[in-house]
Amino acid sequence: MQDPSSENHAAEAWLTGIMDPAQRQEFEAHLAGCAHCQAEVAALRAAHAPRPQPAATKVEPEPSAPAAKARAWQMLLAALVTLILGFALGWSVWQMAHR
């Protein structure tokens, strides 16, 4: 096994277990004495090692349709009450000013 690209393919095949027993035995005999292939196998193992998962971020759920609809009605009612109170206050001030 002199060609580095074939050694790379052999290392991948050996790690994934797709070699037949004769090929596996031949590669393991080669691997025992080849520092380049040993380094390649180590690099491939590191590349395929499980990565730590990022911390989960808490996602606030979307309000359900009935809850969103109820919230919209509450906002509309609050705006209407504010408008009526503002009109009543303005009317009272205008009446006191014109007496």
Phi, psi of 45 (to 5 degrees): -60, -45
Query: Would you say residue 1 has pLDDT above 50?
Result: no
Kindly list the domain boundaries of the chain, sorted by start residue.
4-47, 64-99
Q: DSSP secondary structure string, 8-51?
A: HHHHHHHHHT-S-HHHHHHHHHHHHH-HHHHHHHHHHHHHTSPP
Q: How far is 31 from 34, CA to CA, in rounded Å?
A: 5
Please tell me which residue, 64 or 21, carries the higher pLDDT value.
21
Identify the residue whose tokens are 């991948």.
12
pTM score, two decimals?
0.45
pLDDT at 87: 95
Beta-carbon-side half-sphere exposure of residue 99 (alpha carbons within 13 Å): 6
Q: 7, 13 in Cβ contact below 8 A? A: no
Per-residue pLDDT tens over the stretch 48-99:
777 777 777 777 777 678 888 888 999 999 999 999 999 999 999 999 998 8
Q: 83, 91 in Cβ contact below 8 A? A: no
